[in-house]
Each structure stands twice: as C-alpha cells, then as structure tokens.
Amino acid sequence: MAESVAAPDSPPAAPRVAVIVPAYGVAHLLGEALASVQAQTFSDWECIVIDDGAPDDVAGAAAPFLTDPRIRFLKTDNGGVSVARNRAIASCTAPLLTLLDGDDLLRPEYLATIVPVMEADPEITIATCNARIFGAVSSERLCFDDPQPEGSLRNALDRSFGIYIGSTFRRTDWARAGGFDPAFGVCEDFQMWIRLLMLGGRAHYIDTVLGDYRVRAGSASAEAARMLLGNLKVYEQAARTLPPQAPEQALLAELIETTREALAFEHAIDRVVDGDTRGGLADLAGLRQQVAGPVWRASFVLWHLAPALARPMLRWRRQWHSRGYEPKGLARLFQRSAA
C-alpha cells in the first residue's frame, strides 16, 4: 500500500505546545528565560515573547533569540499581563499552552515531561509541577513540600492543591473560559485556574522540580495585601458564577469571610508600620482569630508597656512572610501563632 504524501503547499503541522512569555521590566532577565526554552529536551514547541509596552529594551533582549524560527516576538501597547497573554495566545497555533514569565525558568525536562501527560489524558485540564523559589527571598525553597493528590475545583479554591504559575493547559479551554481576565492585574493566574476547573476536568500534579520561580523585590508576589485582595476577587467571582446549589458555595462563603479578615489584619499592620500605632493596635486587638495564642498575648502586653516597639516588631514579622522565608526559633513560633 502506497504511503500518503502531503501536498507540497500543505501548511506545516502546528507545534505541540506554545510557551507564552510576557515581558515587562525584565529585559535584563529575559535572556535566561528564553535560553531555558531553547534548552528543552523536547523540540516540538513554539515560543511567543510579548513586549507589553515595557519601559526597558525587551526587543533588544529578545533579538539574539529570534534566529530560532520557533521563537517569535510581538510588541504591543501596555495592557497588563492578562491582555499580553491573550494577545500572545491568539497569535499561536499550538493546542497546548505553557506559561513562562519573562523572569522565570523552565528546567530542560519540563516540556518532555508535561506534554505527553496532557496528550495522553483529555481529562487533565491543567498539568502542574514543583518549582524552586529563588531571588529576593531570605532562603530558597520549593513551591510544594509534599506530593499532591489530583486537583479538583474544591481543593484548588482552598489552595490545599497548589498550582504553579508555570503550568500547562489547553488552548480550547482557554477559549471556552474567555481568556485571561484583564480586570485582574494580580492573581490572574489563580483566577484562570479556577475558571478552567469550573469547566470540568482536573488538575494533575507532577512531583518533580521542573521550573524556577524568581521573586523580585517589589514584585506582586511579595505584596501580601494585594495578593489577598486578588484572592478575594476570585472567590467572589466564583460564588457569583457557580449555581447557588453548587457544593463549593459553602466553602466559598467561608473563604470570602476568612480572606476579608486576613485583609483587615494586613491593613491593621499597615497602620502600625505607617506610624499610626494606637489605631493599628486597636484594629489588631479586634481581630481575635488572627491574633490568638500566647505569643500575640505577650506581644500586646509588651506593646502596652512600650508602644514604640510595635512598629519594628510588626515590620520584622512582615519580613518573615516574604516568599521563601523559613523562620527559626521565636520567629517560627510567632509565625505559627498568626497562621
């Protein structure tokens, strides 16, 4: 039997996966990200770098990599990371999409590990992995300390199942979800994971370190209040979208309440750190669930006697909660008492 031969003018087959790389203010780090894509042991990919109206020379940083025909560059007006990702995805053809921020890295086996998993099981909506957290942190650590079970909407909502930002999902699901929401400037990835899981399927965790997540000083990942506010928006949106009888509604009501309390806690600390010690401590004292435990009780006694100590102590505590920090001794006890 003769083998079929494609017509000479047939378009080339689409790559199996597209790596989406938005870049804003990371021109000095972009080369590392793109080199990590080129170092993949899996070669059937395309990569779209999108300059989101950046103030730095993203185009110049990307230029040396454009000799690789698999890498393309787009320059757009600044619209935020959600808009940038949507524009990049709309320009590509691959059925699978991998997110890579312009300051992060993929390990060489990332695509070779994740793409076959997604292709073999259509019930997997999101494939995620472990990653090293490094950069502006007091000590490096992994995103996840223990293996995770399969991810559902419920355990993704309460974050008992963690989804790394550098995850892979399907282009068709991205389209069904309506793309990334431009209204989210922070937690836009979490919001997308929740919307994808609301469509059905599950998230699958590969217990291997396949990425490197960089924390930069002043980045959104270092700002607790902004992240909490983003989470709150995700929960409130999910509660409005799901049917009233959905089993996740009770969980969402609890998450909304606890997140609002956590925001009030961060705002109270802000008041103290910003100099309003009396008002901030009064707000903190009213948040009984947030400041329970012997360490907090002892702290309030100390602050009553020496109010000037509250500001440096609470500023110090905030440092402990920076991503990647592993507290020791009394610091660990103080952190646990506030958890």
Name all domains of the chain by residue range, CATH numbers in brackets: 17-219 (3.90.550.10), 233-338 (no CATH)
Which of the four pLDDT bands, split at 50, 70 and 90, describes residue 219? low
Using the CB atoms, write b or e for 213-248: b if 16+ within 10 Å.
bbbeeebebbebeebbbbbbbbbebbbeeeeeeeeb
Q: What are phi and psi of 307, to 5 degrees?
A: -55, -30
What integer best gives the mean pLDDT of the chain?
A: 88
Q: What is the mean pLDDT of residues 84-96?
A: 96
Q: What is the mean pLDDT of residues 143-167?
A: 95
- 260-310: per-residue pLDDT in tens? 998 898 888 888 888 999 999 999 888 878 888 898 889 999 998 999 998
Beta bridge partners of 157: none
Which of the four pLDDT bands, split at 50, 70 and 90, describes residue 321? low
Which of the four pLDDT bands, split at 50, 70 and 90, describes residue 9? low
- 104-129: per-residue pLDDT in tens? 999 999 999 999 999 999 999 999 99
Which of the four pLDDT bands, split at 50, 70 and 90, describes residue 12? low
Which of the four pLDDT bands, split at 50, 70 and 90, describes residue 333? very low
Nearest CA to 227 among 186, 167, 288, 269? 186
Q: Give the separation between CA 240 and CA 238, rounded to whole angstroms.
A: 5
What is the 8-class DSSP label of residue 315? H
**pLDDT of 273:** 87
Please, which contacts does 314-318 make with residues 24 or more away whose CB atoms are closer than 8 Å? Answer: 314/269, 314/272, 314/273, 315/273, 317/269, 318/224, 318/269, 318/273
More confidently predicted of 224 and 178:
178
Which of the four pLDDT bands, split at 50, 70 and 90, describes residue 335? very low
pLDDT > 60? residue 322: no
Q: What is the mean pLDDT of residues 58-76?
A: 96
Which of the four pLDDT bands, split at 50, 70 and 90, describes residue 57? very high
What is the 8-class DSSP label of residue 56? S
Instruction: Look up the pTM and report it.
Output: 0.84
Q: What are phi and psi of 76, to 5 degrees?
A: -135, 165
